[in-house]
Structure 1
């Protein structure tokens, strides 16, 4: 099913302030100023559609306002939150923001005439007086989540209680807070500060093994899969309703309960339900509105909740669903957060570092290469095949399966690179001579350069891929039936049917501490074989009831969180066995406050940024340093453990209202990043190179400037050096074929010099404006408006401009194509994006009968098979007539 896309306006606080809160933009100015953004459907958009009485692509009833944390703008922000603003004559009032919008400094404003009804709906008719504002606002605004709205009656849902247990006597690390004294250097006054340190010991750890997950019947899976337009039955789905979120997985609970003699269960409100009637058994941890409805309606809370959903015609939303393994690669890219938390240090490099003979260390020398370079060999080998022009690997890299099935849709980065790959792919499928077309060759070059740059930052392929986590579903059903949960898995066991049985590692982002890397065993047993054979080909993993996997891995929930399951032997053997750090106060929240304009404003001012990047960069700076000093090692180890708790607090900040400020001792580590990480920040890398050159040319007596990066012998610095040197040795084939005889209508005269000059001028202006807009976007670190949206606005502008040069659209298209291809240096993207259909039409007309092909998955043992990202394929070519 094609997801519904809507357009709406996004303004900056400065734009509103500059027009004195009375903003006016014409449709043309909206395009020119890139104010129009696209968003997919949500329960909120569905409600706006209901109130409006019809569906429209443009959502004029809501405007997003971006205002990053800025002390100088707080007064302006306060006025905006209190009074709202007008846009083209309509008044807009502050409505709320999702968790992700909050991190990006974005707030949604709704048009005044629908505000009251929409806000009442978002509260489900429950007026709130006192609450933890950040938590309540996040829950109320769950309706912002992108999802597919299932336009069918709600299933029969039973909400059961949350199972909580204690894992006794676990050896962990934890944070200890102490008040310490210091003397103020300026005043001499004795003052105190809060010191956070790390201690290790045995503690009893509370655990909620089913936090955020539940189960449903096969019939429910069939129903949503049909509505989603899938060609398979998705057994897992992330659920969205007002004040309700979580992940539900298919379990044959009716058959299971029949086998143990259970015919009814009791919900959290004390009401019994016959098993035969139930579609979904969902956990109260999924029902964020439980306390509100219990307090207001007592035992009738769920009934009243359903009545309010019916009143507002609210449907079930599905925000994501399980994927078939056949549609996934069996190898996925690691990242530097994962790799730096493994023991991949190279003894040879360390030896040279100690002996101060680093100049003799050659990362390209096979005898010098450590574990991380051995891991990189697969990725570099793959890209080398594509660089050398291997047709099979090039096809796979571009996402091409066969000439019969165009499965290479627009990739998320296609606009970031300034390209449009689906039309390029279709051109190759029509005539593979187009592999040497200048535009397509340049696209492939850029795509490969990006992949190579990402390798410098740890993006290396390894065995494994991401899975969505759920709890032990046998234990879940036992608890729901009032039994003592035993489950079907033991401690350190995970169950999934998609990677080999045996030792594996489980990673979850963001990851800052080696203790978060979870070494587990993928297993199966008689119970899993009997009740979960449907897990066989989908990306879901089931955890056990008996260990600390969830709190260990960043305090993850089971409401849709995913883990990277890796069974690469090199990486499994590199696990660092460090005592895990647990936040013993992870459920603590700030005290409730009156829910009024004052507290909402305080929430708005304090929730306009995201410090996760700062925390992970600090941890990266520490983890990549090298020392043999035992005390410093211990200090670094404790710092990283502490940062793991900082990270958890920051992630949960919007739910708890609790945020820790990093100490200056920790923040100082951000002043110097490991060399490899500078490649993630081009401006910092450039500054590093300039300072390095300045220090080299400075007189001996002059003090050297402190660099913003350091080159320790860490695995990731080693990898970066290796990739940089490997890249320099690549012999790129830059030869191209003149394809104008294929992509132009040969019957047209395209010689009018006046038209040619105007088009060439337009293409040049387009290229300059596109680069400028991207540069401004990067400088402002904008996220909400994608490069695709900026490009769409720009394309509209130049399409109108070109149409004024040549009235005949077909003749104009051929002129633009001809001018674009008259010189290798001219930007060809505009021709492909605006007139790609004409290029493809001409290509079909001008191409002779050619050989088609299919890429078929084969058994590993087949003689001609070739491996790509964990699977084996055979390229089969065959004669194929063009369809004219």
Structure 2
């Protein structure tokens, strides 16, 4: 992921610390381990965690209030004492202060266990103790399960935490075990709490139908997966999958609470059973100008709601278990009673970059001529030549990259860049030159494997909010964007005629899109608050083509690079049949077995295997049996990736 592209919500809270240990350690201690925190730190068995709903609950249950400001005060005291002359008294005081800091930041009620053997997991689920604290299994997170890591919490808080996670849902509705575990794990997502919206509406998703050519892949058969090219097939698209809308007033308030100096285009939210992007869109203005002054809409349960009483619209694809509640009020009342807060995990940035780097996945399926390659690498080579020519301004930009401006120049943290900016003659200093040359060497090595500079940027994706509003107000759904179009303010202002769109992980050339930016005045008006995201139309197979993209926080790279634009070969989207897992009312044993089946299930490894097949395929002619077989297997890689993704 390109997390640096997005403005990740500021960590207004101090980090927390927990134990993360191997099951072997517990096994060897007969499941009753004594582990002082000082020893754990030396053994790298303490990790930091950002704040989350689950950690906020634990603090609340332990009656810990205002922990972050207290932690900051203690850190300031430690810093001040360290400036004083060394003395025995100061050493004792610092030691006591660190003890106080640990008491605030170390969470003994929450720990992560790395499972070394399956037998260890079954034994751990019967209970174990660390420093006299008994632990019980809570859940496995998506990322944790891939690394055979499970969350355990103290037995003292276990029942109360389970009650809060369940949040009064109807427990007898059958669900896929692995998906339910993933939904529970949303409470562990790093997030910053924000104020509760003044009115929440949950609506059905915007579903559209259209005809398109596709390549259909399914493994719901004996033997190898079946791949079939189908012409003019009816496609049903969830055009709002994972996204909803927030009123500009809510966006302003949340932006201020997060300490942003701009109104965000959208943010990734967390609440009970909820995950997705809320994008800034004036749906009350839509009611006035498009819906003819009709302010009454239906929610997902069929109840009438006045849109003027709403600040946040969530879709049913965002609230995963919406139908486990009798109404929106039932869902909200349970959430408040169980201490849920709205949390923000990331926000759209203030502005998009002008340049970004490609990677090997985006390039490996292209067929370039020698001239194409020369043109493609030219910006990267020119950058390197400029720095080698000892242009101090180019050197500073090379070291610091995008984001360096007059507002943050004082906070620059690169010593070499600082030295050159203070005195330009430092560019000739042997140590400075050596450091820059080593950086350039690393940059050249990266360029050899496809890390090449292009005019382009990453952005969070959204469905068409205009189409979603049409659906909410019971109007005919048309949207503002036609098939093949996107809206992105940067590219609308830039005037680009055609763009290439990439999304990782990629498997084949079918995953590369050619899109046309819509720069109409109507689009600019209605999307005026969505300045740094990319809005996709509701009438083509873009989501399927981009390897199962949805709108809950996915990002794409857009570029107008002429080499990439002219060499793209338009191909039908790969439509992968989603494997149907059994739904059941899951027991604790079901969750444990589901965890074990998913241990070590890494999509990244699949992507690496696909890349290896590209290399092998390059040794054969396109008309050969070997080439065609490898092309089939490469495409099947996308089917495998999608059927091993839970959220």
TM-score by length of 1: 0.63
Cα drift, residue 227 of structure 1: 0.7
CA distance in 1, matches of 2:383, 2:468: 44
Q: Deviations over 1:255-274 (max 9, x none)?
A: 12111312221111222222
CA distance in 2, matches of 1:52, 1:241: 22
CA distance in 2, matches of 1:79, 1:492: 54
Would the alpha carbon gap of residues 198 and 439 (structure 1) be closer, same or farther in structure 2, given more than 3 Å must change?
same
Higher RCO by CA contacts (8 Å cutoff, separation 6 or greater) = 2
> Is contact 2:392-2:420 (8 Å) kept?
no
Of 514, 518, 542 in structure 1, the residue corresponding to residue 509 of structure 2 is 514
CA distance in 2, matches of 1:404, 1:257: 40
Q: Deviations over 1:549-607 (max 9, x none)?
A: 11111111111111111111111111022332211x22x43112342232122112112
Cα drift, residue 206 of structure 1: 1.8
Of 274, 278, 287 in structure 2, the residue corresponding to residue 244 of structure 1 is 274
Of 441, 450, 456 in structure 2, the residue corresponding to residue 458 of structure 1 is 450
Q: Is 2:376 the counterpart of 1:321? A: no
Cα drift, residue 474 of structure 1: 1.2
CA distance in 1, matches of 2:405, 2:162: 50
Name 1:817's counterpart in structure 2.
none
Cα drift, residue 404 of structure 1: 7.5
Alignment of 1:148-167 (within 5 A): 148-150=192-194, 152-167=195-210
SS of the residue 1:94 aligns to: strand
SS of the residue 1:7 aligns to: strand
> Is contact 1:178-1:194 (8 Å) kept?
no
Cα drift, residue 176 of structure 1: 5.3
> Is contact 1:139-1:288 (8 Å) kept?
yes
SS of the residue 1:474 aligns to: helix
SS of the residue 1:108 aligns to: strand
CA distance in 1, matches of 2:420, 2:426: 5
Q: Is 2:196 the counterpart of 1:195? A: no
SS of the residue 2:49 aligns to: strand
> Is contact 2:170-2:324 (8 Å) kept?
no
Of 116, 135, 138 in structure 1, the residue corresponding to residue 182 of structure 2 is 138
SS of the residue 1:452 aligns to: helix
Would the alpha carbon gap of residues 404 and 543 (structure 1) be closer, same or farther in structure 2, given more than 3 Å must change?
closer
SS of the residue 2:182 aligns to: helix
Cα drift, residue 444 of structure 1: 3.9
SS of the residue 2:187 aligns to: helix
Cα drift, residue 441 of structure 1: 5.7
Cα drift, residue 242 of structure 1: 1.8
Would the alpha carbon gap of residues 595 and 384 (structure 1) be closer, same or farther in structure 2, given more than 3 Å must change?
same
Name 1:397's counterpart in structure 2.
398
Cα drift, residue 39 of structure 1: 1.6
> Is contact 1:171-1:201 (8 Å) kept?
yes
Alignment of 1:413-812 (within 5 A): 421-422=413-414, 425-426=417-418, 443-499=435-491, 500=494, 501-535=496-530, 538-583=531-576, 585-586=577-578, 588-624=579-615, 625-626=617-618, 627-628=620-621, 630-632=623-625, 633-650=627-644, 652=645, 654=646
CA distance in 2, matches of 1:148, 1:89: 32
CA distance in 2, matches of 1:407, 1:215: 37
Name 1:113's counterpart in structure 2.
156
Cα drift, residue 97 of structure 1: 2.4
> Is contact 2:390-2:427 (8 Å) kept?
no
Q: Which has the larger radius of gyration?
A: 1
> Is contact 2:205-2:468 (8 Å) kept?
no
> Is contact 2:193-2:341 (8 Å) kept?
yes
Structure 1 stretch 199-208 or stretch 332-341: which is displaced more? 199-208
CA distance in 2, matches of 1:532, 1:197: 41
Would the alpha carbon gap of residues 17 and 446 (structure 1) be closer, same or farther in structure 2, given more than 3 Å must change?
farther
Q: Deviations over 1:102-151 (max 9, x none)?
A: 2222211111111111111111133635431100000011111111111x
> Is contact 1:44-1:143 (8 Å) kept?
yes
CA distance in 1, matches of 2:273, 2:622: 52
Of 256, 264, 278 in structure 2, the residue corresponding to residue 234 of structure 1 is 264
Would the alpha carbon gap of residues 540 and 601 (structure 1) be closer, same or farther in structure 2, given more than 3 Å must change?
same
Name 2:213's counterpart in structure 1.
171
CA distance in 2, matches of 1:177, 1:214: 33
Name 1:734's counterpart in structure 2.
none
Q: Is 2:70 the counterpart of 1:61? A: no
Of 312, 326, 330 in structure 1, the residue corresponding to residue 354 of structure 2 is 330
CA distance in 2, matches of 1:275, 1:404: 40
Name 1:75's counterpart in structure 2.
119
Of 43, 47, 57 in structure 2, the residue corresponding to residue 33 of structure 1 is 43
Would the alpha carbon gap of residues 177 and 83 (structure 1) be closer, same or farther in structure 2, given more than 3 Å must change?
closer
Root-mean-square deviation (CA, aligned residues, Å) is: 2.3
SS of the residue 2:108 aligns to: strand
> Is contact 1:165-1:208 (8 Å) kept?
yes
Q: Deviations over 1:624-678 (max 9, x none)?
A: 333225142332322222222122212x2x35xxxxxxxxxxxxxxxxxxxxxxx
Would the alpha carbon gap of residues 148 and 178 (structure 1) be closer, same or farther in structure 2, given more than 3 Å must change?
closer
Name 1:279's counterpart in structure 2.
311
Alignment of 1:238-387 (within 5 A): 238-260=268-290, 261=292, 262-293=294-325, 298=326, 301-325=327-351, 328-344=352-368, 346=369, 369-387=370-388
Name 2:80's counterpart in structure 1.
none
> Is contact 1:550-1:557 (8 Å) kept?
yes
CA distance in 2, matches of 1:575, 1:163: 31
CA distance in 1, matches of 2:166, 2:188: 13
Q: Give ranges in structure 2 of 5+ residues lacking alignment.
A: 1-9, 68-103
SS of the residue 1:398 aligns to: helix
SS of the residue 1:502 aligns to: coil
Cα drift, residue 48 of structure 1: 1.4
SS of the residue 1:166 aligns to: strand
> Is contact 1:3-1:41 (8 Å) kept?
no
Would the alpha carbon gap of residues 372 and 60 (structure 1) be closer, same or farther in structure 2, given more than 3 Å must change?
farther
Q: Deviations over 1:752-807 (max 9, x none)?
A: xxxxxxxxxxxxxxxxxxxxxxxxxxxxxxxxxxxxxxxxxxxxxxxxxxxxxxxx
Q: Give ranges in structure 1 of 5+ residues lacking alignment.
A: 180-192, 347-368, 410-420, 656-884
> Is contact 1:74-1:605 (8 Å) kept?
yes
TM-score by length of 2: 0.86
In the comparison of the two structures, how many residue pairs are matched?
587
Would the alpha carbon gap of residues 201 and 149 (structure 1) be closer, same or farther in structure 2, given more than 3 Å must change?
same
Name 1:52's counterpart in structure 2.
62
Would the alpha carbon gap of residues 177 and 603 (structure 1) be closer, same or farther in structure 2, given more than 3 Å must change?
closer
